[in-house]
Amino acid sequence: MAGQSDPHLSIFSPSEVEFVAEDEIVDIVPNIRMDALNMICGDFGPFFPQIPTKVPLWLAVALKKRGKCTIRTPDWMTLDRLTQVLEAERESPREFQPLPFHYIEISKLLFDHARDDISDAYLVRSLIEDIRDVRFHKVETGLETISGRTHAVKLKNLSAMEVNIVRPFMVRTLQAFYKHDSPQMIQQADNAGSRSTPVDRGPRVSLHF
């Protein structure tokens, strides 16, 4: 994975973050009768027609693709709830409203695979995009306030995708500020550069021809 291949750039691709989000639990309404599914991650089912049950998002999508269920829209994806969140985000420039950690990935998967199960899908998608844009703008504005005296940054209620985007930049920025503002580190760097390191050429060997 991208985040594991380079320890200095701890960032995952959107598809990798989405893969992690597929383990989130959602409600489905089966339209078939089926025995319980015994998975490594847990047991799900048994399934009965028109009786809601909880399953991981990846399983919900798989059943939906086969026409075996409908996926219930999460409570936070209703028009009323999203409208409240958007208004609160705009009114609080320094605070992030609590949303599911994977709200961006969950909504994308539901729009891609279960759009017909979402009431007012167009308006819901528009609200989620507006919320995402407002929150990203807050992140950018917050990064502009970082200075050499900043030793830590606390951002509460960020989502997985937001953390994934901002974390590498913030780490590198704070490291750069700390390095340039620390006389001790600068002196150590200068001393290291001025000292010549003896080269170990190994034991001497007499060559006889």
Over the stretch 84-124, which tens digit does the pLDDT of each residue have? 999 999 999 889 999 999 999 999 999 999 999 999 999 99
Per-residue pLDDT averaged across 178-187, rounded?
55
Pairwise CA distance, residues 6 & 88, whole Å: 37
Model-level pTM?
0.74
User: Is residue 35 predicted with pLDDT exceeding 90?
Assistant: yes
- The full set of domains in the chain, from first to last, is 2-183 (1.20.58.1020)
Unique residue bearing structure tokens 């729009």 = 111
Structural tokens at position 124: 């819901």
Q: What is the predicted pLDDT for the residue at 3? A: 44
Return mean pLDDT, the chain.
80
The predicted pLDDT at position 125 comes to 97
Q: Is residue 207's pLDDT more than 60?
A: no
- The angle that helices 103-113 and 57-65 make with each other, rounded to 10 degrees, is 10
pLDDT of residue 43: 94
